[in-house]
Structure 1
Amino acid sequence: MTSATASTVDHPLFARIWPVIATHETEMIRALRRENLAGLSGRVLEVGAGIGTNFAFYPDSVEQVVAIEPEPRLAARARDAAADVPVPVQVIGETVEQFTAGKPFDAIVCSLVLCSISDPDTVLRRLHSLLRPGGQLRFLEHVASRGMRGWFQRCVDVTFWPRLLGNCHTHRHTEQSILAAGFEIDGARREWTVPAWMPLPTAEFAIGRARRPA
């Protein structure tokens, strides 16, 4: 849920809230994080690293992780986390739009970040350009639900939720945006991270793999 926009990112309230949420994630969400990173290798770009929650889950086959986190308070926490994991992790305090890569990445990871980007379509096209042909985009994102929950998501999105949670928007059609950016989705599914009856707008997640066509 960390923000990556074209301007300076400054979310002091969210920077206090998110570390508490991230360190108390359910085992189901942590299992989804591990699944999302399983089998990765080579050079990986992680977008919106937050406090580095993913870092411990990267497999040994990954040569390097370049982690983008433009919120400075969260980036500082991510650098601390990077020092405690075996896979080399470089934390960069820039936005995706500002970031320049020397060579294409083998994979890109988005975990709970596309919800908070002001222009996800533009950013996804940028990620497409940063990935080598045939490279994978791994995504784990809460997404738009249907029916009454979808209505509830739209209500919180235009009221308090983005202000409280670092520009997070709960009602986004992320899989459609990924396809529109030029990716091909190889596999994706939906998961409920809490019982469906609970009134939480971020309960339904999409986890999947997409690739830049060769």
Structure 2
Amino acid sequence: MGRSTGAHPLFARLYPRSAEYEDAHGGLEHRRELLAEVGGRVLEIGAGHGANFRHYPPAVRQVIAIEPEPQLRRLAERAAADAPVPVEVRAGYAERLPLADGSVDVVVASQVLCSVRDLPRALAEAGRVLRPGGRLHFYEHVRSRRPGFARTQRALDLIWPLQGAGCHLARDIERAIGEAGFVIERIRRFDFLINGRTTPSSPRVIGVATRR
């Protein structure tokens, strides 16, 4: 799973269906877990079609949602109208966030770090816009901790990004978060199986990291 890094009309048509399928098989609970303790002013990078918006808790004062793909952004704007908290949808890229330094309490990354063009820069931008002590809440598919499975992911990465708008299977996102200056407070590693089946994107993490 990934997020678009520009205009990808085919991906934009298919992604909402794929996300809905995952939600129907357990993904909804993952979204709720991701957002349960979020509050204050929130930035969501790569918001896609806005599937997270209805799960933000009352403690959230405002969500600024960044999405570069035009068709997904239009869908996100519709979802924002029905959200339980104020949501502002903006065009933009994770590597060049249109926000001031230290201007948000929380950054949410939900199945987006797999597809950003420059992962270290995107995480550096997340750290820049967070206030001191602000938190990064992340839910991502990641490189497997099983060597054999990880080798398969690396092999598939030769073609996978072409069909997934830049989505990579073999990124070590947990390590990248640490190298970007975040301290991971908690993390849950698991395999997301749908109907008992493993897919190349089954290895997942949900966690919270604090800006140093």
Q: Distance in 2 between matches of 1:208 and 1:194?
A: 19
Q: Which residue of 1 aligns with 2:74?
A: 76
Structure 1 residue 14 and structure 2 residue 11: aligned? yes
Offset of residue 199 of structure 1:
4.7
Tell me, in whole angstroms, the C-alpha distance in 2 between the residues paired with 1:197 and 1:79: 34
Deviation of 1:95 (Å): 0.9
Q: Output the CA distance in 1 between the equivalents of 2:136 and 2:50.
A: 18
Cα deviations across residues 65-105 of structure 1 (Å, max 9, x unaligned)? Answer: 00000000100000010011120000111112333224521
Question: What's the offset of the Cα at 1:153?
Answer: 0.8
The aligned runs of 1:46-85 (5 Å cut-off) are: 46-85=44-83
- Distance, in Å, in 1 between the alignment partners of 2:196 and 2:172 is 21
Aligned partners of 2:96 and 2:125 also within 8 Å: no
Which stretches of structure 1, 4 residues or more, deviate above 4 A after TM superposition? none
Secondary structure of 2:21's partner? Answer: coil
AA at the equivalent of 2:97: F
CA distance in 2: counterparts of 1:170 and 1:124, whole angstroms:
18
Per the TM alignment, residue 64 of structure 1 is displaced from its structure 2 partner at its CA by 0.3
**Map of 1:212 onto structure 2:** 211
Task: Look up the SS of the partner of 2:106 in the other structure.
Answer: strand
Task: Tell me which amino acid in the other structure corresponds to 1:170.
Answer: L
Q: How many residues align?
A: 208
Code of the residue aligned with 1:22 in structure 2: it is: A
SS of residue paired to 2:123: helix
Residue pairs, 1:5-154, within 5 angstroms: 9-25=6-22, 26-102=24-100, 104-145=103-144, 146-154=146-154
Equivalent residue number for residue 167 of structure 1? 166
On the 8 A contact 2:97/2:125 being kept in 1, the answer is no
Tell me how far apart the structure 2 counterparts of residues 148 and 65 of structure 1 sit (CA, whole Å): 40
DSSP 3-state at the match of 1:122: helix
Give how far 1:197 is off: 7.6
Q: TM-score, normalised by structure 1?
A: 0.92
Aligned AA (2:104): F
Q: What amino acid sits opposite 1:192 in the alignment?
A: D
Match of 1:179 in 2: 178
- State the distance in 2 between where 1:197 and 1:35 align: 21
Question: What percent identity do the matched residue pairs reach?
Answer: 44
TM-fit CA distance, 1:148: 2.3
In the alignment, what sits opposite 1:2?
Answer: 3
- Give the deviation of 1:195 after TM superposition: 6.6
Q: How high is the TM-score relative to the length of structure 2?
A: 0.93
